[in-house]
Chain A
Amino acid sequence: MDLWFTEKHTDNVKLSIKVDRQVYSAQSEFQRIDIFDSLEFGRFLTLDGYMMLTEKDEFIYHEMIVHVPMAILPQVNKVLVIGGGDGGAVRELVRYPEIQQIDLVEIDAQVIEACKKYLPQTAAKLDDPRVTIHEADGLKFVRSKKDEYDLIIVDSTDPFGPGEGLFTKEFYGNCFKALTETGAMVNQHESPFYPVDAIAMQRAHKRIVDSFPISRVYQAHIPTYPSGHWLFGFASKHYHPLQDFDAQKWKARNLKTRYYNDKIHVGAFALPNYVKLLLEEME
């Protein structure tokens, strides 16, 4: 048997992963959800045919979207995660004892259900007592919040389909309002490499720069995402991602991580020239 999952990264580039078997498939109100087992990447989740995570490389994404802001902000008690129904971001967050409350806002309850059942590697901590799951539109949820969260993590799908409202200026502005005076937002920031992704990345950057006084972009290497070169945004009202980064404090926590460390933290904010140029065009 020769069964492959294929995702078009551009009109002319495809990534294919050999599938051992399909574990789950459903059409929710919002999107098609599929889970496969593969030999190379372990189990993986796709939404509308787009790769969301694989067991093999999800640690990179989830460590980078959580530990970077947690190592910058001195006191995080209340966190809002928008999207992230797979539970990967929550799994990293619950490792911090000072966090008292995590609100997870996922529009598609069926994604959470499927992940709880078939992807315990990421979803296992969704039952932590500090976590409250809200099945809601992220844009709507955050609209009514004011001065409430120390950290907002935008763990969204791509800017088309159910996630498109999470790449808008009104959303970033609402997040700004929902954050405390010294709060910060981290977002999945698309890729700078292929032109279609780069345009989405630039548009998101422009809107974040317009909404926050401090806005910096950092990068990671994620093998199963288009081009493998992925960006995150760190937007903040007060703290600077490098000047306020306390390496000693983070190391003292003794958290075991596979990708993130204090040197990566600093290095991730050093961007290639072509990416800097794309970002500067928008500033």
Chain B
Amino acid sequence: MQPVKRTPIVIMYSFLNLSLGVVIAQSLLVLAGLIYTFFTKSSLFLNSFVPVTVELTKDLNNALSHQGLNLPGLKGNLFITPLFNNTQLITYTGIVYNLFWNIFIIVGIQILKKFLFTLTIGTPFTLENAKRLRMLAFMIILVPLLLHIVCRLFINLTIPVTNGYITIKGNWDTFEYIFIGGLVFIISEVFRKGVLLQEENNLTV
């Protein structure tokens, strides 16, 4: 048996750590912003979170394809409602959605890191790894679904802008996540079967 080439694993591990750092930093920034907003009653995000407010009000069609509003796992229609009392109607659903998404990414990266670690120390064909893969599959399917259900419960997503608020009606558009999650689930089941076969083979004299 040839020794495992570790360079790609190390590169992947560093990449995962880097993305983890970026996601955590972003979440902390958003959290700090939320706390700041809560205490000072003036939003940090008004101009920075949705930078093209004026353009949005002018051009609805263009606003749909705008990158700044591209929330992961959510596609839908944009509605702009004029706002008279700015401070009362500001909601942070969009930001909270982003935070929940970040938590999902952090947990997912941790699972991937553990999996990669088992690759470096020995054989990855263990029941723990099969369980990890299965958990990842359920997460990929359930987390966007749950987020969509939550969005549906709150009717729409609302993002604060300076002279109004933008609502994004959440369409149930998680087919791609179900597909990817299903794929990972199949791999995990194949993995589990492989582990059992290997165990049986090891105990055959």
Check if A and B associate.
no
Binding site for B on A (CB under 8 A): none
Interface residues of B (CB under 8 A from A): none
